[in-house]
Amino acid sequence: MKLKLALMSLVMMGVGSVAVAGPLDKTECIAAAKPGGGFDLTCKLVQSALMEGKYTADPMRISYMPGGIGAVAYNTIIAQRPAEANTLVAFSGGSLLNIAQGKFGRYNENDVRWLAAVGSDFGAVIVAENSPFKSLKDLVAAVKKDPTKVVFGAGGSVGSQDWMKAALTARASGLDHKSMRFVAFEGGGEAITALQGGHVQVYSGDASEAEQQIKAGAKIRVLAVMSDKRLEGGLSNVPTAKEQGLDIEWPIIRGYYVGPKVSDADYKVWVDTFNKMLVTPEFNKLRSERGLFRFSMTGNELDAYIKKRVASYRDLAADFGLNVAK
């Protein structure tokens, strides 16, 4: 009897140890759009970094949850999967802009745990490879001549990050952004496909996204980058918008958040892991390969930064006459 009890105790202990998995076990990253865009790129970055750095034994699974340019994923994590410590969700500056406008429903920037920002990107004006527009000035001239003839593709509807980049381009050109034609897509992958198919003439997307698509064989060309100086890497020959007479900058951060009920202990494991990864040459190489630039911030510091950015986006949205979340 004593032997049986001892064996049962060992079995129960074994079951318990299997059931309690750590936050780095069987990890998942949710890209809040269809494959091929910036969210996908962000998830693949952490997937590679975790495996190459041997922080996890199993490859991180990437799942796609399109809808509302991040809204569906945001609501799902908060309402249905709030305590999943092994699940990260990719976000960008565009996510923060949508939160500022109340596009994520009843939830705001205080309803998730902001984990890590791992790189920066910049807005870009992208056309098809065979486009007649050879410069930003060509594009502006065409829109001024007849704004109905130039259709802008955007990852998201009016007020989205891509829409905002196009609207800022219009404003800097002395044009009324309300006269410009927009077609909304669910993420950058769809917009670039439409661009190559001739369904839209311009896509106001992201530089790293464009560079990755060009490497993958996409027939597109970048007219301008919205950075303070020319970028390094594959887009080093592309002039900035400022060089072409338009005073526009649009920096974008990329990173991850977790659900609101992830424990402090599990959250700390992730923060510590990112703090270790982000300072390594290996991570910098992975980041550079994806066209991202150095920007590293984690934990409480990132949380404070996010709150400030959302507040500034609320001001910008109000300036364009858009709805603003209270």
Two tokens, residue 121: 């990107």
Which has the closest alpha carbon to 78: 105, 60, 101, 103? 105
CATH number at residue 306: 3.40.190.150
**Together in a domain, 235 and 137:** yes
DSSP 190-210: HHHHHHHTTS-SEEEEEHHHH
Whether residue 116 is found in the same domain as residue 256: yes
Q: Are residues 144 and 237 in the same domain?
A: yes
pLDDT of 9 strictly over 60: no
46 lies in the same domain as 192: no
Q: How open is the CA angle 282-283-284, to the nearest 5 degrees?
A: 90
Residue at which a domain ends, from 235, 250, 265 = 250
Asked whether residue 204 falls in the same domain as residue 146, the answer is yes
Per the CB < 8 A criterion, the answer to whether 60 and 50 are in contact is yes
> What's the confidence (pLDDT) of residue 184?
87
73: CB partners within 8 A, 6+ apart: 30, 32, 65, 67, 89
The average confidence (pLDDT) of the chain is 89
pLDDT digit string, tens, across residues 279-325: 999 999 999 988 898 899 999 999 999 999 999 999 999 998 888 87
Q: Is residue 42 part of a domain?
A: yes
Contact predicate 226/244, CB 8 Å: no
Residue 196 CA to residue 194 CA, distance in Å, equals 5
* Final residue belonging to a domain, choices 250, 281, 309: 250
Q: Is residue 310 part of a domain?
A: yes
* Boundary (domain end) residue, out of 250, 273, 293: 250
Q: What per-residue confidence (pLDDT) applies to 8?
A: 45
- Domain harbouring 211, CATH code: 3.40.190.10
Q: Is residue 16 part of a domain?
A: no
Query: Structure pTM?
Result: 0.77
Least confident range of 102-106, 175-179, 293-297: 175-179
Q: Which pLDDT score, from 0 to 100, does residue 21 have?
A: 64
Cα separation of 204 and 225, whole Å?
Answer: 10
Residue ranges of the alpha helices (H) in the chain? 2-19, 38-52, 71-79, 93-100, 136-145, 161-172, 188-196, 207-215, 264-278, 281-289, 299-319
| Rounded CA separation 103/54 (Å) | 37
In-domain check, residue 258: yes
In a domain, 19, yes or no: no
Indicate whether 129 and 221 sit together in one domain. Answer: yes
Q: Which domain holds residue 59?
A: 26-120+252-319
Whether residues 146 and 225 share a domain: the answer is: yes
Statement: residue 14 has pLDDT above 60? no
Tell me, yes or no, whether 81 and 141 share the same domain: no
Among 172, 317, 147, CA closest to 240: 172
Residue 14 included in any domain: no
Give the highest mean pLDDT range of 3-17, 25-39, 263-277: 263-277
Q: DSSP per residue over 137-173, as a string? A: HHHHHHHHH-GGG-EEEEESSTTSHHHHHHHHHHHHT
126 and 243 both lie in a single domain: yes
Same domain assignment for residues 36 and 145: no
Same domain (yes/no): 208, 146: yes
Report the candidate in 255, 226, 207, 212 with the shortest Cα–Cα distance to residue 32: 255
Assigned domain for 39 exists:
yes
Residues 290 and 220 in one domain: no
pLDDT of residue 142: 92
Does residue 68 form part of some domain? yes
3-state secondary structure of 17: helix
Instruction: Work out how many domains the chain is built from and give that number.
Output: 2
